[in-house]
Amino acid sequence: MELTDDIMYQAAVNKDTSFEGVFFTAVKTTGIFCRPTCTARKPKRENVEFFTSSKEAILKGYRPCKVCFPLEKYNETPDFIKEILKELSENPSLKFKDADLIQRGIEPSKMRRWFLKNHKITFQAYQRMFRINSAFKKIKEGESITSTAFDTGYESLSGFNDSFKSIFGVSPKNSKAQNIIDLKRIETPLGTMYVCAVKEGICLLEFTDRKMLETEFKVLAKTLNATIIQGDNVHFEVLEKQLKEYFEGKRKEFTVPLFSPGSDFQNKVWTALQNIPYGAVRSYREQSIAIDKPEAVRAVANANGANRISILIPCHRVVGSNGELTGYGGGLWRKKWLLELESRG
């Protein structure tokens, strides 16, 4: 699809997130440039010009918008929140109250808005879930419920039981049959991603603006009979290190363990995806032949679309029969970026 000015203007009017990173909108009458998703009032068509990078807009004399902050990475976690999340990770029993945030120069309402927008829960709820995640794992490892409750910062056993039951639907003593999927936000050059993991490996890696993401979470939780909850996982550190190397052009294969629950057919397709060499592309037909199902082109395409572990299971390496870039859950601009990165060898 050719990216015309009319298409870009309509995308800006619709605040279409799939165009994030593709172009910037500059307003001649104000001298300001924005993301395509900016919530500020849209200018008239004749007052707009478009740029493919923020650098181009700045060189033309435009200033960055103070509403959508086009110089920041899309959906990136602010440094002050990263620092607090790091402290929580090191000590889940910590409790940051409004007074603690104010002492650090952080406005509690700003913290609340960010967590509601990016995690769909308040910061206080996030902290509770993080503590409960830590507690769940301690109990699974054989620690007593009472010591776990107080070690993770709860002041009473009844308060701990209530919090635990509100998340898992059962009391701690009845939780042996329960499972947990750890969730974390990570930053990449292409935007923020959600990663989920269980003890077997990474089970989800998606961009936070992916359409139908909530449905993916629900299906994954149902499939594994588990609760998805913010927390640490041994595989997260390995993943972040390997992704950093990949984006720097220093890694061509991933060794972090993966866990991809799906049908036998889906797993055949996903395995075939992992067999596409770095820097190469295959058509859907070539992929169907690779799994000895030459007649199943459409089914292969559907299985590609059902892949929850982007980049690591490289569905971005599959293109149309004529070489055109076809659908990609993270947006075609990201697919193009990834293929260009890999083509540089």
DSSP-assigned states of every residue in 188-248: ETTEEEEEEEETTEEEEEEETT-TTHHHHHHHHHHHTT-EEEE---HHHHHHHHHHHHHHT
Tokens of 45: 């068509």
Relative to beta strand 201-207, strand 24-27 is unpaired
Tokens of 218: 């629900």
Question: What's the rounded Cα separation, in Å, for the pair 203 and 333?
Answer: 24
Tokens of 226: 């588990």
Tokens of 284: 């859907």
Residue positions counted in the chain: 345
The residues assigned a catalytic role are 315
Sign of the Cα pseudo-torsion (214, 216, 220, 225, in order): positive
Whether the Cβ atoms of residue 53 and residue 77 lie closer than 8 Å to each other: no
